[in-house]
Amino acid sequence: MSLLFRKPTIFNAKNVLLRQNDVQILLLTSKNFSAVPTIYDGESDPAPKFFSSNVQVLLKRLTRPDFNKVFRKRTNSGFPVLKTPQYKFLTTEQLEAEVAKSRARADQLLQMPPVVKVQTHIKEVLSRDPALIGFDTAKYMFTDITLGVDNQHRIIMERDTDGVLQSCDPDVRKRLNQIYFPIKGRKIKEPVMFTDPERFNSLLDREQYEFVLDRACIQYEPDEPSYQKITSVAYQHVDSRKNYGLLRSTRHFGPLTFYLTWHLSMEGLLLELLQNNVIREAVLLVALRQEVHGDVANGSAAQGLVAEIMNTPIQLSKPESLTEEDIQLDTKCIDCIEQYISANSSMKSQQELALQGFREFYQQLIDLSRGVRKAHGNA
Amino acid sequence: MSLPPASGTGRYFARAAKSIRLIRHGCTNRPFYHISVTHRRRLNSQPVIEQLGSYDPVPNMYNEKLVALNLERIKFWLGQGAHVSKPAAEVLGLSGFFPIHPHSYMTAWRNRQAEREKLAKEQEAQKAEEAK
Distances from the Cα of A137 to the Cα of A198, A277, B36, angstroms = 37, 67, 26
Contact between A266 and A260 under an 8 Å Cβ cutoff? The reply is yes
Residue B104 and residue A135: Cβ atoms within 8 Å? yes
Q: How far apart are CA A233 and CA A209, in angstroms?
A: 10
DSSP state for residue B128 in the 8-state scheme: H
Residue A106: the pLDDT is: 93
Residue A76: the pLDDT is: 63
Q: How far apart are CA A162 and CA A182, in angstroms?
A: 30
* Interface residue B93 vs chain A (CB under 8 A): no
pLDDT surpasses 50 at A4: no
* Interface residue A171 vs chain B (CB under 8 A): no
pLDDT band at A378 (very low <50, low <70, confident <90, very high): confident
Residue A32: the pLDDT is: 58
pLDDT surpasses 80 at A357: yes
**Region A205-234 average pLDDT:** 94
Q: How many CB pairs under 8 A join A and B?
A: 81
Q: What is the pLDDT of residues A38-58, one digit of tens each?
A: 888 877 889 999 999 999 999
The residue that leads in pLDDT, A310 or B74, is B74
Contact between B92 and B75 under an 8 Å Cβ cutoff? The reply is no
Residue B63 and residue A176: Cβ atoms within 8 Å? no
Distances from the Cα of B40 to the Cα of A185, B18, B131, angstroms = 42, 5, 61
pLDDT surpasses 60 at A9: no
Q: How far apart are CA A114 and CA B38, in angstroms?
A: 46
**Region A314-331 average pLDDT:** 85
**Region A270-296 average pLDDT:** 92
* Interface residue A246 vs chain B (CB under 8 A): no
Residue A155: the pLDDT is: 95
Q: How far apart are CA B66 and CA A105, in angstroms?
A: 41
pLDDT band at B83 (very low <50, low <70, confident <90, very high): very high
Residue A351: the pLDDT is: 92
Q: How many residues would you count in chain B?
A: 132
Helix axes A299-311, A324-343, angle to 10 degrees: 150
Contact between A35 and A5 under an 8 Å Cβ cutoff? The reply is yes
A302 CA to centre of own chain: 22
Can you point out the beta strands (E) in B28-63? 30-39, 50-55
Q: How far apart are CA A47 and CA A116, in angstroms?
A: 5
With beta carbons under 8 A apart, name residues in chain B contacting A176. 66
Which of B94, B109, B111 has the highest number of chain A CBs within 10 A, making it the mutation to test binding with A?
Answer: B94
pLDDT surpasses 70 at A177: yes
Q: CA-nearest residue of chain A to B95?
A: A142
Residue A78: the pLDDT is: 66
Adjacency order of strands within the sheet including A156-159: A125-128, A164-167, A156-159, A139-144, B64-69, B50-55, B30-39, B18-27, B83-84
pLDDT surpasses 50 at A14: no
Residue A36: the pLDDT is: 84
Q: Is the dihedral of CA A353, A354, A359, A365 positive or negative?
A: positive
Can you point out the beta strands (E) in chain A? 28-30, 33-35, 125-128, 139-144, 156-159, 164-167
Which of B52, B64, B74, B109 has the highest number of chain A CBs within 10 A, making it the mutation to test binding with A?
Answer: B64
Q: What is the pLDDT of residues B9-62, one digit of tens each?
A: 888 898 999 999 999 999 999 999 999 999 999 999 999 999 999 999 999 999
pLDDT band at A18 (very low <50, low <70, confident <90, very high): very low
CB atoms within 10 A of CB A95: 12
With beta carbons under 8 A apart, name residues in chain B contacting A157. 95-96
Among A190, A143, A148, which Cα is nearest to A171's?
Answer: A190
Residue A322: the pLDDT is: 82
**Region A326-334 average pLDDT:** 91
- State the pairing for strand pair B30-39/B50-55: antiparallel
**Region A186-198 average pLDDT:** 94
pLDDT band at A355 (very low <50, low <70, confident <90, very high): very high
DSSP element (H, E) containing B123: helix B102-131
**Region A345-355 average pLDDT:** 91
Q: How far apart are CA A13 and CA A15, in angstroms?
A: 5
**DSSP, residue by residue, A241-310:** HT-HHHHTTSTTHHHHHHHHHHTT-THHHHHHHHHTT-HHHHHHHHHHHHHHT---TTHHHHHHHHHHHH
Query: Which of A126, A134, A139 is closest, CB to CB, to B63?
Result: A139
With beta carbons under 8 A apart, name residues in chain A contacting B105. 131-132
Q: Residues of chain A with pLDDT > 90: what percent?
A: 65
- State the pairing for strand pair A139-144/B30-39: unpaired
Residue B108 and residue A131: Cβ atoms within 8 Å? yes
- State the pairing for strand pair A125-128/A33-35: unpaired
Decide: residue A101, CB within 10 A, 0-12 exposed, 13-18 middle, 19+ buried. exposed
Q: CA-nearest residue of chain B to A162?
A: B108
Residue A31: the pLDDT is: 55
- Averaged pLDDT of chain A: 87
pLDDT surpasses 60 at A20: no
Backbone φ, ψ for residue A142 (5° rounding)? -110, 125
Distances from the Cα of A81 to the Cα of A84, A85, B13, angstroms = 9, 12, 50
With beta carbons under 8 A apart, name residues in chain A contacting B107. 135
Query: Cα angle at A338 between A332 and A343, to 5 degrees?
Result: 130
Q: How far apart are CA A362 and CA A280, in angstroms?
A: 13
Q: Which residues are within 8 A (CB) of A284 and not within 5 positions of it... i.e. 6 or more apart? A: A58, A61, A62, A306, A309
**Region B76-98 average pLDDT:** 96
Region at A105 (left for phi over 0; alpha for psi -120 to 50; beta for the rest)? alpha
Q: Is the ipTM of this complex over 0.90?
A: yes
The residue that leads in pLDDT, A76 or A205, is A205
pLDDT surpasses 80 at B86: yes
B6 CA to centre of own chain: 18
pLDDT surpasses 50 at A248: yes
Query: Which of A134, A138, A142 is closest, CB to CB, to B108?
Result: A134
**Region A216-241 average pLDDT:** 94
Residue B24's DSSP bridge partners are B33
**Region A126-137 average pLDDT:** 94
Range from A1-10, A80-89, B99-108 that averages highest in pLDDT: B99-108
Contact between A252 and A216 under an 8 Å Cβ cutoff? The reply is no
* Interface residue A17 vs chain B (CB under 8 A): no
Residue A133: the pLDDT is: 94
Q: CA-nearest residue of chain B to A142?
A: B67
With beta carbons under 8 A apart, name residues in chain B contacting A144. 69-71
Biggest CA pair distance of chain B: 73
Q: CA-nearest residue of chain B to A181?
A: B68
Selected residues 49-88 of chain B with any CB under 8 Å from a CB in chain A: 53, 59, 62-73
Which of A124, A125, A126, A145 has the highest number of chain B CBs within 10 A, making it the mutation to test binding with B?
Answer: A145
CB atoms within 10 A of CB A139: 19
pLDDT surpasses 90 at A298: no
Q: How far apart are CA B89 and CA B52, in angstroms?
A: 13
pLDDT surpasses 90 at B109: yes
DSSP element (H, E) containing B22: strand B18-27
With beta carbons under 8 A apart, name residues in chain A contacting B53. 145
pLDDT band at A324 (very low <50, low <70, confident <90, very high): confident
